Structure 1
């Protein structure tokens, strides 16, 4: 008999998962970020661009972006996921919806720049006792 897990326990697990995932992203650890996806995970975050499919593609694209855009820039980026809703599905997956903001703080400047602001939909699965992202769709608010 499978253990019964409460909605609040599921919600807390999802929050813990996202907290770890964004720390990899903010820490410029593309491989670890990609490792939070399933082997065939889909990361659809570029309006008009093809989704990234699979950990290798995700790691390569995110790593290249970080190296060319962020590595030499001393700005501190923080991804904030909030207003999270978790919807357990009949197949055992979790569909989530949340808002994402990116805060960028420059050395010596107290007030961060905010942006972009996005709406995100994920499908999370349990693999080997851990949550992983199977599918992510990021919809920036500034793109209509």
Structure 2
């Protein structure tokens, strides 16, 4: 299970880092809810998630940066109904056009994952809670 979960996050974060926001949004259920401590209201559903990620990607490009999400330290609990409760840390690195890297954010991510074979995606996020260090 650990390999499945870590592979899921590797693919999901790579989509985001590469600006493939439609593919990234598909890693969430159609009715997913995404709470992040830097926003007053959660994002709901794939369309809103894709729009939010698209705006973030444009802002990062305008800054001339590349961002990389490194997610790990997984705590995985199986829950009734085939749900997985996953808690992890994510460190977001920002690299300038000159090649200088810095830590942009450190976050705690708590997800509820579901299995979805209908769309050909084994795992999807049903609900995500992200707390950016220093914002809680």
Q: Report which of the two structures shows the higher radius of gyration computed on alpha carbons.
A: 1
Q: Which residue does 1:89 correspond to in 2?
A: 79
Once the two structures are TM-superposed, the CA of residue 46 in structure 1 deviates from its matched residue by 4.1
Q: Which residue does 1:79 correspond to in 2?
A: 69
Q: Does 1:133 pair with 2:129? A: no
Q: Which residue does 1:124 correspond to in 2?
A: 113
Q: Give runs of ≥4 in structure 1 deviating > 6 Å.
A: none
Return the TM-score normalized by structure 1: 0.86
Once the two structures are TM-superposed, the CA of residue 64 in structure 1 deviates from its matched residue by 2.0
Q: Does 1:61 pair with 2:70? A: no
Consecutive unaligned residues in structure 2, runs of 5 or more = none
What is the alpha-carbon distance in structure 2 between the residues aligned to residue 34 and residue 63 of structure 1?
A: 10
Q: Which residue does 2:92 correspond to in 1?
A: 102
Q: Is the 8 A contact 2:37 2:135 kept in 1?
A: no
What is the alpha-carbon distance in structure 2 between the residues aligned to residue 46 and residue 61 of structure 1?
A: 14
Q: Which residue does 1:114 correspond to in 2?
A: 103
Q: Which residue does 2:29 correspond to in 1?
A: 38
Give the structure with the higher percent strand: 2
Secondary structure of the residue aligned to 1:122 is strand
Once the two structures are TM-superposed, the CA of residue 49 in structure 1 deviates from its matched residue by 1.4
Once the two structures are TM-superposed, the CA of residue 109 in structure 1 deviates from its matched residue by 3.2
Consecutive unaligned residues in structure 1, runs of 5 or more = 1-9
What is the alpha-carbon distance in structure 2 between the residues aligned to residue 20 and residue 120 of structure 1?
A: 16
What is the alpha-carbon distance in structure 2 between the residues aligned to residue 13 and residue 55 of structure 1?
A: 22
Higher relative contact order (CA 8 A, sep 6+): 2
Q: Does 1:12 pair with 2:24? A: no
Q: How many aligned positions are there?
A: 133
The RMSD of aligned alpha carbons is: 1.4
